[in-house]
Every structure is written in C-alpha cells, then in structure tokens.
C-alpha cells in the first residue's frame, strides 16, 4: 500500500458498447482522478464524407444499435434543409413524429426495465447474478411481460413508419416514403389503451422508487449543473421532435432560450482533451470551467415549461413540485423522467393515430437546394445535433455530430468522480458492489457507447490495478 494506484473498470456493463473507467488513487488511497474513456464515433464523420446526401439518413443508423431512429431523423431533418424544404407536408411530419415517439418509447422501456430495473429492485450492491432482467421477470412476471409488450409496441410503430424495426428507410430528404394504412392504424388502436395504462403504472413505479429512496437518490451522483434541450417554439413545451434550444442554469435561470438550433455553434463550444476521443462541449457564455451541461430526460423535465399532453403534464407538475420548481439535479431521477416521457409518447401516439393526416398521400416536398443543413432532435438520451455540408454534386463534404453522450461527457466524468470519491476513497478493498456504484452513475446517463445490446449483466467485468509506474499489481475478472 501507499503507492498511487490506477483502478480500471472495463468494459462498463449494461451500457451500449464499450467504455472504460480508470480511477487514479493517490498515495493515501484517496481518489485523485476518475475518467470515463469512450472510443465511439471515431472516423464516422470522415466515413460519411463523399457519400450522397440522400444516403445519409440511412447510413447514420449504423452509428448506434439502440437509437438508430434518432440518427435517421436528425440526419433527415438536416437533409430537408439542404433539399430546400423548411416545412414538410403534414403527413410527412406526422409520420416522422410517430416514428420518433415509437422510438423514444421503446428505448426508454428497454432502459428502464432491462438495464435499470435490476439495480432499482435489487440494489446496487446486489450480487451480479441477481442484477439482470431474468431475475426481474422471475420476481415479477407481469412487469416483465408488460416490458416486453411495450417495447414491441414501440418497435412495431417504427416498423410501420420506417419499413423495418431497425435500419429502416422511412424518412427521406423533404419527407417520408410511406403513410400509415388504415388497417395498421386500427391494429395499433386496439392496444393503445393498454399501453397508456401500463405507462401510468411504470411511471408510478419509477416515481415511487425516487420518493421512497429520496436519501439515496438525492445523494447519489446528484450535483447542480446547467441543462439544455429543445423546447417547442413559442411556448416552451416539451417537444422531442422539433423546436428551439433552451439552456437553464442550476438555479433554473435562463442562459439562452428559443435559440434557432441552426446557430448552435454560437452558443456551444466543442472542447477537446488529450486523453479522450470524445469532445467536451460547453456553453460559450459561461466558459469552459462552469459551462458544462446535461442533456437527456432529466434535463428535458427541467427545461420544459409544460407538456402538451394531459397525463404527462400532470406528471411533470408533480415531478417539479418535489424541488419546488427548481431544477432537479439527481441523476437517478432520469428514470422517473423517462417514464413521464414514455407516458407522453403514448399519449402522442394515440393522438396521431386518430389524425387522418397519417393517411394522406402528399409525402414529399422540394425546394431550392442549399449547401448546408443542421438537424436537431431530442433523442431518448438527449439532444442530438447533425450538421452537414453538401456540394453541388450531392456529396457530403463536411459532417459534425454532437450526440447526447458527448453533450453529457463532462457530466458523466463528474458523476464517476463523485461516486468514486464517496465510495472508493480510503478503502483498500475494491468490492464489486463499489465498482457497480460507479457503473450505475454512468448508466444513469444511458450513454450510447456504440451499439449492440450487451445488456443484461452478461458482459464480463474486469478490474485492473496499476501502480504509479503503470505496472499491473492486481486484477479481478468477473465472468459473464
């Protein structure tokens, strides 16, 4: 003992793709530094260069295995601008919204039931073999069944709008390539009320957890920060598909509001650090030290003035009352926020299914070609920015993406450090429970580390300890 040590946790289980956490201990076993290393998105911005603009909404779906639809739609929105289209035909806009609500719903349900419920039901310190969805289903078969059915419903909405559950082609520059046949609509209408009821129950579950474990929730990876998301133009309502940017500080005061997202680079600076491939964006007006911010469901609950569907709006008011209207800082409340959004999505889907515009046949618009396009959407994990330039030959010449995980990069690093300081410092033994606390802090942000569902606690976990000279002094591996 006594030597500075490096603790490495790799890969982080139950988040999409691969990540690595390194914790640097000083000579007194205090946490010196904690870093989250993410190696995603390298090369993609270069790969897309030279491709044809109408291919982009399809190609970008390869970026992420669990929210391909968000990339599909953000890219399509950017390409609408390049196509010269500022307003889509109502059928196209509503079909895309339907697709998006289906996507957010299924992604949130997946996260909540498959990735987070095990921790919430069994506790973060529970043994690994307990912390997976199979155990959840075993203890609560009805919950498990609903999770599967809700996810399926969301995926079927995606299939009906994009042609396939994954890697569909629905959104095209300037519109959509299909409408919703009456028979398909009627099939969804048969189960939409179940979905609404189950979404309310899931919300009650998440809310109950947060309130019953207030002590843990309020102290676990909870810290003040700025928040940013799209809100609806004009009235500031929650809008997951389109709107303007709003950023609030930790007091809830406005940093900027109703900012046209095409001007995002005026307000957001993308910082780089030598040890990470991921950028560290911050809000220009506040500066690199304090200008970091969070995006995602929790951020959206904080930024939204209200929700334009009644059940979710009541839930938002209730959520906000817990902090007397001030921003909610607790990362674990992302789960509660997610379930409010699931309810909102279900309400929106219901509204859309009753809208005859979905059977319209005016699917595409064209206009005067532009060279540059920016598309922004609120993905399940938070704000997502796609920015392209296209030359007169229709080839992409420039691409810049800011994905939710990048927006949250600084916040996640802070969350990891926060947990590490509280739970690891001074300990000589690195227990699995403690390591899992670090993972839970990361998972609360639902980072999309590339793709593929390595979920379900199946991923082997390795822990390595290095001394000050970088030599391996100890290692622990936990088989799947």
Partner 1 sequence: MTDQDITFTIDGVAITAKPGQTIMEAADDAGVYIPRLCDHEGLRHQGGCRVCTVKANGRSVAACTQPAAPGQTVENETPHINKLRRDLVEMLFHEGNHLCPICEASGNCELQAMAYRLEMGEPTKFPYLEPSRALDASHHDIALDTNRCISCGRCIRASKDVDGKGVFGYVGRGIHRRVAVNGEDLAHTDADASDHAMSDEVCPVGCIIRKRVGFATPIGEREFDKGLIGYEIEGKRRG
Using CB under 8 A, which residues numbered 74 to 103 contact partner 1?
none
Stretch that binds partner 1, among 121-129, 352-360, 389-397, 441-449 (CB under 8 A): 389-397
Pairing of strands 382-390, 372-379: antiparallel
Q: Taking the chain, what is the end-to-end CA distance rounded to the nearest angstrom? A: 30
The two tokens of residue 186 are 């009627």
Instruction: Compute φ and ψ for 266, nearest 5 degrees.
Output: -75, -25
User: Between residues 364 and 372, which has the closer beta carbon with respect to partner 1?
Assistant: 364
Least distance to partner 1, CB of residue 162, Å: 8
Instruction: Compute φ and ψ for 245, nearest 5 degrees.
Output: -85, 140
Judged by CB under 8 A, the residue of 27, 28, 42, 50 near partner 1 is 50
Q: Does a cis peptide bond (omega within 30 degrees of 0) precede residue 11?
A: yes
Least distance to partner 1, CB of residue 355, Å: 20
Whole-number Cα distances in Å, 25 to 8, 34, 365, 427: 11, 9, 58, 10
User: Between residues 34 and 390, which has the closer beta carbon with respect to partner 1?
Assistant: 390
Rg, the chain, Cα only = 22
Least distance to partner 1, CB of residue 48, Å: 10
- Residue 238 β-bridge partners: 231
Instruction: Enumerate residues 6+ apart whose C-beta is below 8 A from 238.
Output: 231, 232, 300, 304, 306, 307, 308, 312, 316, 341, 344
User: Between residues 193 and 362, which has the closer beta carbon with respect to partner 1?
Assistant: 362
Least distance to partner 1, CB of residue 95, Å: 11
Pairing of strands 171-172, 31-38: unpaired
User: Between residues 177 and 400, which has the closer beta carbon with respect to partner 1?
Assistant: 177
Stretch that binds partner 1, among 158-166, 192-200, 243-251, 300-308 (CB under 8 A): 158-166
When asked if residue 62 is in the footprint of partner 1 (CB under 8 A), the reply is yes
Stretch that binds partner 1, among 10-18, 57-65, 267-275, 307-315 (CB under 8 A): 57-65
User: Between residues 158 and 278, which has the closer beta carbon with respect to partner 1?
Assistant: 158
Using CB under 8 A, which residues numbered 199 to 258 contact partner 1?
none
Judged by CB under 8 A, the residue of 27, 28, 42, 52 near partner 1 is 52
- Identify the helix (H) or strand (E) that includes residue 338: helix 334-353
Cα separation, 389 vs 396, in Å, equals 6
For residues 340 to 379, the per-residue mask of contacts with partner 1, x marking binding by CB under 8 A and - elsewhere, is ------------------------x---------------
Q: What b/e sequence results for 8-17 when a residue is b if at least 16 CB atoms lie within 10 Å of its CB, and e otherwise?
A: bbbbbbbbbb
Whole-number Cα distances in Å, 109 to 35, 113, 146, 161: 28, 6, 10, 19
Least distance to partner 1, CB of residue 271, Å: 31
Judged by CB under 8 A, the residue of 30, 250, 395, 425 near partner 1 is 395
Least distance to partner 1, CB of residue 433, Å: 41
Which has the closest alpha carbon to 406: 241, 295, 310, 250?
A: 295
Cα separation, 89 vs 83, in Å, equals 14
Least distance to partner 1, CB of residue 164, Å: 6
Least distance to partner 1, CB of residue 182, Å: 16
Residues in the chain: 480
User: Between residues 37 and 72, which has the closer beta carbon with respect to partner 1?
Assistant: 72
Least distance to partner 1, CB of residue 93, Å: 17
Judged by CB under 8 A, the residue of 7, 58, 67, 339 near partner 1 is 58
Whole-number Cα distances in Å, 351 to 192, 193, 263, 309, 459: 10, 12, 32, 9, 40
Binding-site residue total for partner 1 (CB under 8 A)?
A: 25
Judged by CB under 8 A, the residue of 164, 317, 354, 427 near partner 1 is 164
For residues 168 to 207, the per-residue mask of contacts with partner 1, x marking binding by CB under 8 A and - elsewhere, is xxx-xx---xx-----------------------------
Least distance to partner 1, CB of residue 456, Å: 24
DSSP states of 90-106: HHHHHHHHHHHHHHHHH
User: Between residues 23 and 69, which has the closer beta carbon with respect to partner 1?
Assistant: 69
> In the complex, which residues of this chain contact partner 1 (CB under 8 A)?
50-52, 54-55, 57-59, 61-62, 162-164, 167-170, 172-173, 177-178, 364, 393-395
């Amino acid at each position: 003992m006594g030597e500075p040590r490096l603790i490495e946790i790799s890969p982080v289980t139950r988040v999409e793709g691969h990540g690595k956490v390194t914790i640097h201990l000083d000579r007194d076993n205090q946490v010196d530094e904690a870093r989250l290393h993410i190696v995603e998105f390298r090369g993609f911005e270069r790969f897309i260069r030279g491709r044809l603009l109408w291919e982009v909404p399809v190609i970008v779906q390869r970026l992420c295995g669990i929210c391909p639809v968000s990339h599909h739609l953000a890219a399509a929105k950017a390409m609408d601008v390049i196509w010269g289209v500022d307003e889509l035909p109502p059928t196209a806009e509503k079909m895309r919204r339907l697709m998006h609500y289906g996507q957010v719903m299924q992604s949130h349900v997946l996260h909540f039931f498959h990735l987070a419920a095990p921790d919430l039901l069994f506790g973060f310190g529970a043994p690994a073999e307990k912390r997976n969805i199979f155990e959840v289903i075993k203890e609560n078969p009805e919950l498990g069944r609903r999770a599967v059915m809700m996810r399926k419903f969301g995926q079927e909405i995606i299939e009906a709008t994009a042609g396939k559950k994954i890697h569909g082609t629905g959104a095209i520059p300037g519109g959509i390539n299909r409408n919703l046949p009456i028979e398909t609509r009627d099939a969804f209408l048969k189960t939409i009320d179940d979905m609404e009821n189950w979404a309310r129950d899931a919300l009650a579950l998440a809310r109950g957890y947060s309130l019953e474990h207030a002590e843990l929730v309020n102290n676990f990876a909870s810290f003040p920060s700025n928040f940013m998301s799209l809100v609806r133009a004009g009235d500031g309502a929650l809008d997951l598909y389109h709107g303007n940017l709003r950023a609030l500080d930790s007091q809830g005061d406005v940093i900027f509001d109703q900012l046209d997202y095409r001007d995002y680079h005026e307000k957001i600076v993308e910082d780089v650090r030598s040890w990470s491939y991921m950028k560290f964006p911050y809000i220009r007006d506040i500066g690199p030290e304090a200008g970091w911010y969070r995006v995602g469901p929790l951020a959206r609950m904080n930024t939204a003035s209200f929700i334009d569907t009644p059940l979710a709006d009541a839930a938002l008011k209730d959520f906000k009352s817990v902090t007397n209207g001030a921003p909610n800082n607790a990362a674990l409340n992302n789960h509660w926020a997610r379930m409010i959004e699931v309810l909102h999505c279900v309400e929106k889907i219901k509204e859309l299914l009753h809208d005859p515009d979905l059977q319209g046949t005016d699917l595409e618009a064209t206009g005067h070609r532009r060279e540059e396009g920016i598309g922004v959407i609120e993905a399940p994990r938070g704000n997502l920015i796609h920015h392209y330039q296209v030359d007169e030959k229709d080839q992409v010449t420039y691409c810049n993406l800011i994905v939710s995980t990048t927006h949250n990069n600084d916040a996640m690093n802070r969350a990891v450090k926060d947990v590490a300081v509280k739970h690891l410092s001074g300990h000589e033994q690195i227990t699995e429970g403690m390591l899992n606390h670090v993972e839970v802090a990361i998972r609360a942000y639902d980072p999309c580390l590339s793709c593929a569902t390595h979920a379900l606690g199946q991923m082997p976990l390795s822990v390595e300890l290095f001394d000050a000279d970088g030599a391996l002094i100890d290692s622990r591996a936990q088989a799947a």
